[in-house]
Amino acid sequence: MFLKHLNINRHGLCAFFIILFAIVLRIILIVQGWPATDSDEGTLGLMARHIAYRGEYPIFFYGQGYMGSFEAYLAAILFHLFGPSLFVLRLGLIIIIALFLVSIYLLTALLFTRNLALVTLCLLSFGSQEILSIQLKAIGGYPETLLFGALELLIATWLALSYNRDISTRERWRRLVVYGFWGFLVGFSIWTDLLVIPFALTSGLLLVAFCWREWRTWAPLCVIVCFLLGVLPLLIYNFTASSYQNSLSYFLRIYHSDVAGNAVNYIPFVQKAVGTLLVSIPTATGANPICLDRHLPLFGLFSRTSLDCTLFQGSWTAGYLLLLIIAAFQNIRAIWRLLHKAQDSAAAVKRQTSTRYFARLMLLASACLTILLFTYSPVSALDPWTSSRYLFCLLVTTPAIIAPLWEHVSTLNATSSWKAKLLAALNGTILLYIAVILLMGFVNTEKTVPSIQAVNRQQEALISGLLRLHATHIYSEYWTCDRISFQSNERIICAVVTNHIEQGYNRYLPYWSIITKDPHAFYIFPLRSSPAFHFPRIMAFEHRHFRRYIFDGYVVFQPIHISNFQFGKT
C-alpha cells in the first residue's frame, strides 16, 4: 500500500523538484543583479515604497490608466518583511512565476497527462534571455498574465469536467464558490493587464459550452458579483477619469500608437506580418539568439546574415504555427468523431472526453487570438523586438503546442511498427532540439552577467558621486530618473526633461513640483546624449554659468546663480 501511494505521488514529487530547480535558477540570476534595471522598473519600485511607507494606494502604474499595480502591492508586502531593494522587488516576480508553474502543471495534467505536464515544466524552467528578462524585471503585468491565464483555464476546465446534475447541496455550494473565484480572477486580471482578455474569453466560452445548465442557478450572480469585486479598482478609476484619460481611451491610444506613444495612421500589413512572424513570435517563445533589425527583411539591408536569421527565426515560427495547426486539427477531428460516434460508451465518459478536447482547443484559441491582436497593432512592424513582450503569454499554451510531438513519443513501445518508431524518434528529436535551445538561452544569459554587473557598479558609483556633490535634487532624461530615485531609496529625487530641457514624461508628478522649486537642482545626462548636447547651449543663450563634472558615463551640470533662470525657456 505504501509503495502504491508513493507511485501515485511520484509525478507530484518530480514536479516539486523541477519547480524548485526553476526557482533556484531565477534566484541565482537576480542575486547576481541580472537583468539590468531601468526607469520602468524603478517606477514600480517607487510605487512599492510609497505603498509600504507613505500610505499611498495607486490604482495603476504611475502615469497611465490601463495597467494595474498588483506587482507594486506584492512588493510592498515584501518590503515590510525584508526591506526595500531591487532584489526584494524581483523576489515577488519569482513567487508569481512559481505559482504559474504549479498552475500549468495542474492544467496540463488535467487536459493531457502527468508525463506531458513534467515535460512542460522542464521546458518552462529555462528560457532565452528575452523570456527570463520579462520574468525577472518588475515592469508590471507580464508574469501575472501567465499566472492568471493559466488559472482561469484551470478553474474553467475543472468546473466543466466535474459538472454533474446529480450532486449534493454541499457540492453545489462549493461549485458556486469556485464560480465566484473564477469571476473574481477574471476581473482582477483584467485590472492587472488587459493582455489576459483572450484567456478570459476562451475560459468563459468553455464554461458556457459545458456548464450551461448551471447558468440557470446562482452561478451567474456569483460570477458577476465577484467579477465586479475583482475589477473594482478599474471601475473606481474610470468613474472619476475624464473621457480622454479613461482606461479604454488609454488602451486604444496605446494599441494604435508606436512605442513612443505617437499615433500611427497606416502601416502595410506585410510589414506587420514580417515583424510578428520573424521577430515577435520567436522572441516570445524562446528562440535563441534573436537577430538584430538590420539582419531581417524589411528592417535592413539584405546580406548572408539576413538569410541565416530569416531561416532560423522563420523556421522556428513555422514550426510553432505548424504544431498549433496540427494540434487544433487533431482536437477538432476528435470532437467530430465523438459527436458522430455510436452510443456504445457511457455518456459521462463521452462528455469528459469531449470536454478535454474542447478545453485544449480553447487553449490554442487563446494563442491565436493573442497573435492576431498583436499582428494588427503598429508595434508589430515598428518595434517587434521590444514589443514581443505582448506575446509573452503564449508560454501558457506550451503544453498544447508540444502535445502532438509528445503523443507519438509517449505511446512508443516494443510492439510498435517501424513507422511509429521513426515518427517517435523524429518527434523526440524535435522536442530535444527545443529543450537544447531553451537551455542554451539560459547559458547565454549567464554569460552576460559580468557585463550587467559592471553596469550595476557604474550605476552605484553614479549615485555615490551625486550624493558626494549633494546633488539630491536633479533633472535628467526618462531612462535615468526613476531608476536613480529608487536605487538611492529616494535620497535623490529626479524630474524628467526632454532633449531640449523642457518638461518631460514624469510618471510621478510630485517629484516635478519638488525639483522645480529648488534653484540649486543639478542636471545629469548620459555622455554624448542629446540633452547633454543642448544644455550648455541653452545656458549660454540665457547667459548663465555652470560647473561641469564627468563621471561614470554621465555628465553632471551644476548651474550657478540660476534664481532668475526661467526653466525651459529656449
Main-chain phi, psi angles of 56, to 5 degrees: -85, 150
Which residues have CB under 8 Å from 7's CB, separation 6+? none
pLDDT value, residue 570 = 36
524: Cβ–Cβ under 8 A, 6 or more apart, which residues?
462, 466, 471, 474, 475, 476, 480, 554, 555, 556, 557
- Is-contact 526 553, C-beta < 8 A? yes
> From CA 527, how far away is CA 546, in angstroms rounded?
17
Measured CA to CA, the distance from residue 105 to residue 19 in angstroms comes to 10
Q: How far, in Å, CA of 488 to CA of 58, rounded?
A: 21
The dihedral formed by the CA atoms of 121, 284, 431 and 441, expressed in degrees to the nearest 10: -80
Cell numbers for 286, please give them. 524562446
φ, ψ of residue 496 in degrees (nearest 5): -85, 135
Question: What pLDDT, on a 0 to 100 scale, did the predictor assign at position 5?
Answer: 40
Q: How far apart are CA 152 and CA 245, in angstroms?
A: 29
pLDDT value for 344: 54
pLDDT per residue, tens digit, the chain (570 aa), is 333 443 458 999 999 999 999 999 999 999 999 999 999 999 999 999 999 999 999 999 998 888 999 999 999 999 999 999 999 999 999 999 999 999 999 999 999 999 999 999 999 999 999 999 999 999 988 999 999 999 999 999 999 999 988 888 889 999 999 999 999 999 999 999 999 999 999 999 999 999 998 988 999 999 999 999 999 999 999 988 887 888 888 888 888 777 666 777 788 899 999 999 999 999 999 998 888 766 677 676 566 667 888 899 999 999 999 999 999 999 999 999 888 775 655 677 888 999 999 999 999 999 999 999 999 999 998 889 889 999 999 999 999 999 999 998 988 787 778 888 899 999 999 999 999 999 999 999 999 999 999 999 999 999 999 999 999 999 999 999 999 999 999 999 999 999 999 999 999 999 999 999 999 999 999 999 999 999 999 999 988 899 999 988 999 999 986 444 444 443
Which amino acid makes up residue 353? T
Q: How far apart are CA 332 and CA 515, in angstroms?
A: 62
Q: Which residues of 516-532 are buried (b: 16+ CB within 10 A; e: fewer)?
A: eeeeebbbbbeeebebb
> Left, alpha or beta for 392 (phi > 0: left; psi -120 to 50: alpha)?
alpha
What's 549-567 look like in SS3? EEECCEEEEEEECCCCCCC
Q: What is the pLDDT of residue 320?
A: 97
pLDDT (0 to 100) of residue 415:
76
> Measured in whole angstroms, how far is the alpha carbon of residue 298 from the centre of its chain?
27
Asked if residue 188 lies in contact with residue 231, where contact means CB atoms within 8 angstroms, the answer is yes
Number of Cβ within 10 Å of residue 515's Cβ equals 21
CB 134 within 8 A of CB 142: yes
Give me the pLDDT at residue 562, please: 47
H helices, E strands: number in the chain:
24, 5
- Separation in Å, CA 211 to CA 349, 413, 498: 16, 38, 55
Residue 42: the pLDDT is 97
Cβ proximity of 366 and 146 under 8 Å: no
